[in-house]
Amino acid sequence: MKLFEVESNITQDLVLLLKNQLGRTDSVSRDRAPQSLTYPALANLMNNMGYPGINKDSLKKLYDSSSELKKIIRDPKPPQEDPNSPEAGMIILKTAEEREKDAIGSTGGKGIDAMAKQAANYKPEFS
């Protein structure tokens, strides 16, 4: 079985798997350090779920096509990546703070105060 044959389901299952990893990390981590997985570890987890192995290139393709994965994973293959860096063979998951910043950024860049002010000044128009 090839990765493209199960791509629609693999993205959803990968998101659930990574959210589970993040949930465990967020509940016990006090230092707010990002969690990381190696590609062999992720491939093993995916194999246990019945999917083919996943490598850096296939994860990058899934990442580029899924907004859900972008909320969970830092870019798995940034263009300036040093192949000798310790993070080169790792999948780095976003911390709770990074996910929160992304959520605030997705509201159009408005801060909470600006959104509250806009809501307070809202005047419905009745027809």
Q: Which of 78, 43, 81, 82 is nearest to 64 (CA)?
A: 78
Residue 66 pLDDT class (50, 70, 90 cuts): confident
Position with higher pLDDT, 118 vs 58: 58
pLDDT digits (tens, 9 = 90+) for 9-31: 788 888 888 888 887 665 555 55
CA 50 – CA 12 distance, rounded (Å): 14
Reduced to 3 states (helix: H, G, I; strand: E, B; else coil), residue 93 is strand
Tokens in use for 109? 């860049």
Q: Would you say 66 and 2 are in contact if contact means Cβ atoms under 8 Å apart?
A: no
Q: Model pTM?
A: 0.64
User: Would you list the DSSP string of 10-27?
Assistant: HHHHHHHHHHHHHHHHHH
Q: Would you say 119 and 111 are in contact if contact means Cβ atoms under 8 Å apart?
A: no
CA 11 – CA 41 distance, rounded (Å): 17
Residue 4 pLDDT class (50, 70, 90 cuts): very low
